[in-house]
Amino acid sequence: MDRGRASTYGAELPVRIAIVAGEPGPAEGQAPDRLAALAQALTGRGHRVELATRASPARLAERTADRVADLPLPHVPVTALYAGRPDAVETGAVLRSTPAWADALAACWLADPPAVVHACGPDAALAALSAARRVPDLPVVVERATDLPGTPDHSPDSATRLRLLRSLLAREADLLVARTRWEAALLRRLGAAYHRVAVVPLPVDVSRFAPTALLGEGNGPPHLLNLDGGRSPEAVPLLAAALRRLPGLVLTVVGGPRTASRGQLRRLPETAHRKVPGLLAAADVLVAVPSRAAGGAAVLEAMACAVPVVAVENGPVSELVVDGVTGLLVPPGRPALLAGTLRDLLSDPASAQALGIAGADRVRALHTWPLAAEHLDALYPAVHPVA
């Protein structure tokens, strides 16, 4: 939305940035941590940051304050703003609560507008764009525009409504932040102008996700881990078919339906994101079967921990894993090939260690929060230019 804005963003640093984030679905688990990391990275560059989120404001403020206090830079206050939450987390309920959320945001910003709004997630973006229409010259940057708000309600027309919502965000946002080139292409297919889409590599908190032990140092059989059980419907059937060709191996699948462990598949319920580093520390290989829309955070977090990755080639993961260098890619729907790839990797600990080390190096070179903040810092003036 070109509103003919004028600003002195580039001449007056630090600036005030309002981060707006929606309700994470039960399989997400990362939203509060990601908000705290984003706030920390931007305050580390000297900006003043406010958070407007549906999450518990007291919990988020406490967690964010802890992270900001660890910065080796002057403290910049971070305020968590409570902006209402839906009565349920189904997609329809989340979206129905958006107008009230937009009203709360508009009232806040009319009294004291930020320099730029950074909305994370489609419901947050819809509320932020609605609120910004009532505030003169307030640009809105949107990331995670293609994510699902809340959990699917499986109504007959839900897919159509979501497609229209994503298309609306793609056309109306002042700038869209994509995490991969694959996502950038999707946003442009949804109607985003080419120059309004920028790729900022998906960041990882490398202070929490870091190498521990190397493959082969533990006792007993190799420990395989999958974190896609609650996100990808293809994961469990494909993994079960592959494991039948790998006798003696057990794979832990996190997330998905609450079903009992059976045979070689050990099932765990969806776990809090803060526990994922511990799961990865105990793993010898991450076996990733992401859905096509998945952002690939779990793959990057495993790489950051120097855990070798074997991933089904799908969507953004094809960009995040350099086949044969930082991990191994296999085509979708090929359980025999997946089993053979795992068998070969587990029989060659030196190659597995080399993949893990290269993956950790790549994450630290391209996917850290300070680098993401640097990219964003260069993008914000483009939507809030100097007069």
Structure tokens, 188: 């442009």
Residue 91 and residue 152 in contact, taking contact as beta carbons nearer than 8 Å = yes
Count CA within 13 A, CB hemisphere, residue 332.
14
Q: pLDDT tens digit string along 304-353?
A: 999 999 999 988 898 999 999 999 999 999 999 999 999 999 999 999 99
What pLDDT does 286 receive? 96
**Sign of the alpha-carbon torsion through 74, 76, 77, 82:** negative
What pLDDT does 93 receive? 67
CATH fold for the domain made of 9-203+368-383: Rossmann fold (3.40.50)
Domain formed by 223-366, architecture: 3-Layer(aba) Sandwich (3.40)
User: Which DSSP category does 29 fall into?
Assistant: -
DSSP 276-327: HHHHHHT-SEEEE---TT---HHHHHHHHTT--EEEE--TTHHHHS-BTTTB
List, by residue range, all CATH 3.40.50.2000 domains of the chain: 9-203+368-383, 223-366
What pLDDT does 263 receive? 72
* pLDDT beneath 70, residues of the chain: 1-13, 23-32, 54-94, 149-158, 213-220, 230, 258-261, 292-295, 384-387
What pLDDT does 248 receive? 86
21: left (phi over 0), alpha (psi -120 to 50) or beta: beta
What pLDDT does 37 receive? 85
What pLDDT does 68 receive? 41
Q: pLDDT tens digit string along 205-232?
A: 999 999 985 444 555 678 899 998 767 7
User: Which DSSP category does 218 fall into?
Assistant: S
CB atoms within 10 A of CB 136: 11
H or E element, residue 143: strand 140-143
What pLDDT does 166 receive? 86
What pLDDT does 385 receive? 56
C-alpha distances in angstroms, 322 versus 179, 183, 303, 306, 311?
A: 16, 18, 11, 14, 11
Pairing status of strand 197-199 against strand 175-178: parallel
Residue 65 and residue 78 in contact, taking contact as beta carbons nearer than 8 Å = yes
Task: Name residue, tokens 């206090």.
Answer: 69
What pLDDT does 174 receive? 95
C-alpha distances in angstroms, 22 versus 115, 169, 387?
A: 20, 14, 32
Residue 76 and residue 47 in contact, taking contact as beta carbons nearer than 8 Å = yes
Question: Where do the DSSP E strands lie in 174-308?
Answer: 175-178, 197-199, 223-226, 250-254, 265-268, 285-288
What pLDDT does 265 receive? 85
Structure tokens, 104: 């709360």
CA distance 281 to 279: 5
> What type of residue is 339?
A
Q: How much of the chain is helix, strand and coil, in % rounded to 5?
A: 40, 15, 40
Count CA within 13 A, CB hemisphere, residue 51.
31
Which among 263, 273, 283 has a CA at the least distance from the CA of 230? 273
What pLDDT does 156 receive? 62
